[in-house]
Structure 1
Amino acid sequence: MKKISIVLLTSIVFVFASCCNNQKNNDGMETANNKETILIFPKGEVINNDYFSGKAWLKMLVTDKDNFDATVGNVIFEPGVRNNWHSHPGGQILLCTRGTGYYQEKGKPIQLLEKGDVIEILPDIVHWHGATPDSEFEHIAIGTQSSKGSVVWLEPVTDEEYNSYKK
């Protein structure tokens, strides 16, 4: 038992050290030894609907939403891509894992998102999220209380709204 714990602890430390030993290349993308972008989860499939302003990918990570009453997916946005205004009847949590992005609730200023940020979105709050103009953005999207209903899609975010971020 002690031997297994030591092996497990060593593995966790190795994975953590590998993740934290990233560098930035000239494009600001995280790389391992400046060779490639590090993805924790597979990129998934291109999202083919009218609710995104450009190319984004989705990889569902939890597929049994009935037993867990949640959806969990990894989303990657190309630079400048955002989703439409929308809300979630059961709420949503965003775990930001790579790049820089934006998040905005209706009537409030845009928030800059970076790796490590957590956004807690209460049920029925109208909002949008996506990448900044010059960076890919990746987050894990957790749809909570999914039995209350799926996402309610609204109108696209205008360029004027998207470009209103103030530092």
Structure 2
Amino acid sequence: MNRYTSICFVVFALTLFSCVESTSKNPEAESQSKEQIFEKGTRTSKEKFVGDVYMNLLVPEDSIYTTKSGSVTFEAGSRTNWHYHPSGQLLMVTEGTGYHQIEGQAKETIVKGDVIKVPKNVKHWHGASTDEAMTHIFVIPNTEKGASVWFEPVSDAEFAE
């Protein structure tokens, strides 16, 4: 009986230890947590952006939801042209550091976790900081009124101010 009890104890102990989750660091899991939530997307048109900008359109505009949303990644120093939205825009910074500026106002620094509410018909631009990439999710409501009206590029001098 002692031998049988010993074998049962060993089998039980091995089963128990195989079920316990390792507490050691898992480098693969850590690197996955640093990845972006959404894919980077495709490179955008140079007609509306300065530098290397990538967009992943998450919610294309349609007649049911009348909303457009996407994730945009700006490489360091890249930015939108000046533009406005007939119904305003929401920006939610998900990674990095960037800038946002409303025409006639000082440029502001935006960082991961910031939410920017751009009023309707207000000319502005946004993009990455000089030395760090930035990703944000944009939401444009009421697209039946139009999504965006685009203007000239933000000059290097304006960007540096």
- Shorter-chain TM band: 0.7 to 0.9
Q: Which runs of 5+ in 1 are unaligned?
A: 1-31
1:69 Cα shift?
A: 1.1
Aligned match of 2:124? 127
How far apart are 1:42 and its partner, in Å?
0.8
| 1:159 partnered with 2:156 | yes
- Structure 1 residue corresponding to 2:93, chosen from 91, 96, 121: 96
- Report the Cα offset of residue 65 of structure 1: 2.8
**Aligned partner of residue 65 in structure 1, secondary structure:** coil
8 Å CA contact 2:60–2:67 kept in 1: the answer is: no
Alignment match of 2:51 (pick from 51, 54, 67): 54
Between the aligned partners of 1:60 and 1:34, the Cα distance in structure 2 is: 25
1:67 deviates by 1.0
* Selected match of 2:141 from 126, 141, 144: 144
Give the TM-score normalised by structure 1. 0.75
Q: Counterparts of 2:148 and 2:98 in 1: how far apart (Å)?
A: 20
Amino acid at match of 1:141: F
For 1:35 and 1:63, how far apart are their aligned partners in 2? 27
Alpha-carbon distance between aligned partners in 2 of 1:37 and 1:145, rounded to the nearest angstrom: 33
Tell me which amino acid in the other structure corresponds to 1:111. Answer: E
> Do structure 1's residue 83 and structure 2's residue 80 form an aligned pair?
yes
What's the secondary structure of 1:68's corresponding residue? coil
1:43 aligns with 2:37: no
Query: Could you tell me the TM-score, scaled by structure 2's length?
Result: 0.78
Give unmatched runs, 5+ long, in structure 2: 1-28
Say whether the 8 Å CA contact 2:49–2:79 is kept in structure 1: yes
What is the number of equivalent residue pairs in this alignment?
Answer: 134
The runs of 4+ residues in structure 1 deviating greater than 3 Å are: 32-37
The 1:150/1:35 distance shift into structure 2, 3 A limit, reads: closer
User: Could you tell me how far apart the structure 2 residues matched to 1:38 and 1:69 are?
Assistant: 30
- Give the aligned partner of residue 70 of structure 1: 67
Q: Which moved more, 1:79-88 or 1:65-74?
A: 65-74
Distance 2:147 2:72 in 1: 17
Query: What is the CA distance between 1:142 and its match in structure 2?
Result: 0.5
